[in-house]
Structure 1
């Protein structure tokens, strides 16, 4: 049987658009232009927050022995405006990992300052904190603010930004298994050297943007403090921007608490076999 030229091209295009899932390595893409949280967030006004600074474009996690190499791509050239020594300054990311795919196993709460929940079927076991600040400062903040979750927080031994990529290496203590079977969520925030209250080095989203505050949210604690996240199947399709906006939708009570919190899902993981009805 002959295969048409059109069919070959269609298959090639589908493969190029699909997330890369191989033993010990996963890669996902995210559409550009969706660095607006639930759809209406605005950057702080200071010029250090360049357009695209929090626009995640891709994410790769590769396990090598007892370590993992992580790469995050952003939609602008990184700058170390605050002289952190890490090659970048304003970006920060939280990589939540669901290793077992079991509902009720893991945590549905996020870390302080993010104001998001996870759907029960996407409860996470480990989270990796990517920050331009030194590991000692991050460890101190996690130890004093993360509560019972602190034992499930991994902090890289090396973090470096160059060009449009942030690269990190993390020891995988307590994180055994095949990453191609895990599910991931990458939440992009902004590095805050002077965090408010119990926030874990994260920057506030307020009703109106300011020099060092995001706008378009709420002055209470009901709005998600997430500027970009992975959504859909992690292919980078334009439709995944809407999926992000839907996940990060929220409702506030009159006192500024969450009436309906933003609730995240994840990408990746082993596909469940189709049932007889689905075939």
Structure 2
């Protein structure tokens, strides 16, 4: 009887240890920011037209950002960019998307950062009150990286631990960035989201916008390096900060680039802190839900009753043996 009880205690402790290990991964993802973008606005300042080539069919929606969302868990930040049309992959990028050129700039600290893009290509500037500290280059062919405002342009970006892929819904690009690559205060972040078209021979990988559309280039621009090569930005639908106002603020006469404004949560969200007990409760709840889903209560009711009785008997045996042990000690 004594050996049997020792084994029972051992397995109970083993179960607790397993639960503690599971608790480390039980923290649910927390949504830090989400914003909808107007549909049908992948026309830059409103004048741009798609290239004539069939690879750009249906010639609308491929670059039309509809939702931007940011999440976090214990290990990573998750950035989601959802588009109006399914993400086609005509050139076979391993990440699952070939058309979209996504540039995410984050302003995380006041009174520092850059107000120009990492390299010339998008042909926009940023609000000087909100210079960027992080640039997440979301692109295909293993070129995605994180760049920092205070590093030299000749230095490579961080690629270790990063993941870029097409999500299962077929319309969303997902960027997974380790938390140590960015700072721990997303409640201070302002976001610039720029959408263009990938072009391996374009300036910094951006497909140019010309005055007239060709088979491979967009039309509706000015044949200069002053009109943006940006087709969509995350912006409100109307007002002085609308997309057309921002991307249309360039001037050929004054040799001035368009200035883009960032977006920011109306109610900033800090990362939740979880105690060990919180994590254990979440782990047990997650495990319990998984068991109930696999073995429904209404079908396996006798099994659950037997398991509960066995557990109660286990507790009684442990209590009985502890009581005996204490009597012998006296």
For the criterion TM > 0.5, the same-fold answer is yes
Q: Which runs of 5+ in 1 are unaligned?
A: 1-21, 233-237, 273-279
Aligned residues: 231
Seen in structure 2, the aligned counterparts of structure 1 residues 42 and 149 have a Cα distance that, compared at 3 Å, is same
Matched with 1:113 is 121
Tell me if the contact between 1:118 and 1:263 (Cα under 8 Å) persists in the aligned partners: yes
Tell me if the contact between 1:35 and 1:54 (Cα under 8 Å) persists in the aligned partners: yes
Tell me if the contact between 1:116 and 1:263 (Cα under 8 Å) persists in the aligned partners: yes
In structure 1, how many angstroms separate the alpha carbons of the residues matched to 2:41 and 2:209?
16
Give 1:260 deviation, angstroms. Answer: 2.4
Give 1:92 deviation, angstroms. Answer: 1.4
Q: Deviations over 1:195-243 (max 9, x none)?
A: 3xxx2111111111111111111212111111000113xxxxx426971
Seen in structure 2, the aligned counterparts of structure 1 residues 153 and 134 have a Cα distance that, compared at 3 Å, is closer
Structure with the higher fraction of residues in helix conformation: 2
Matched with 1:268 is 264
Matched with 1:222 is 226
Q: Indicate which of 143, 157, 162 corresponds to 1:157.
A: 162
For the residue of structure 1 that corresponds to 2:255, the secondary structure is strand
Tell me if the contact between 2:31 and 2:69 (Cα under 8 Å) persists in the aligned partners: no
In structure 2, how many angstroms separate the alpha carbons of the residues matched to 1:23 and 1:85?
28
For the residue of structure 1 that corresponds to 2:243, the secondary structure is helix
Q: Indicate which of 132, 143, 164 corresponds to 1:124.
A: 132
Give 1:173 deviation, angstroms. Answer: 3.9
Matched with 1:37 is 44
Higher relative contact order (CA 8 A, sep 6+): 1
Tell me which stretches of 4 or more aligned residues in structure 1 moved more than 4 Å: 149-156, 269-272
Report the TM-score, using the length of structure 1 for normalisation.
0.74
Seen in structure 2, the aligned counterparts of structure 1 residues 98 and 150 have a Cα distance that, compared at 3 Å, is farther
In structure 2, how many angstroms separate the alpha carbons of the residues matched to 1:149 and 1:58?
30
For residues 174-253 of structure 1, what are the structure 2 equivalents within 5 Å? 174-195=181-202, 199-232=203-236, 238-239=237-238, 243-249=242-248, 250-253=250-253
Q: Deviations over 1:51-98 (max 9, x none)?
A: 200000011122223421111100101111111122221111000100
Matched with 1:67 is 76
Q: Deviations over 1:142-176 (max 9, x none)?
A: 8xxx9835669555722211411111212344521
In structure 1, how many angstroms separate the alpha carbons of the residues matched to 2:154 and 2:266?
27
In structure 2, how many angstroms separate the alpha carbons of the residues matched to 1:108 and 1:69?
24
Structure with the higher fraction of residues in strand conformation: 1
Tell me if the contact between 1:24 and 1:64 (Cα under 8 Å) persists in the aligned partners: no
Tell me if the contact between 1:125 and 1:152 (Cα under 8 Å) persists in the aligned partners: no
In structure 2, how many angstroms separate the alpha carbons of the residues matched to 1:173 and 1:209?
43
For the residue of structure 1 that corresponds to 2:201, the secondary structure is coil
For residues 81-100 of structure 1, what are the structure 2 equivalents within 5 Å? 81-100=90-109
Tell me if the contact between 1:98 and 1:126 (Cα under 8 Å) persists in the aligned partners: yes
Give 1:123 deviation, angstroms. Answer: 0.9
Tell me if the contact between 2:127 and 2:262 (Cα under 8 Å) persists in the aligned partners: no
Seen in structure 2, the aligned counterparts of structure 1 residues 200 and 223 have a Cα distance that, compared at 3 Å, is same
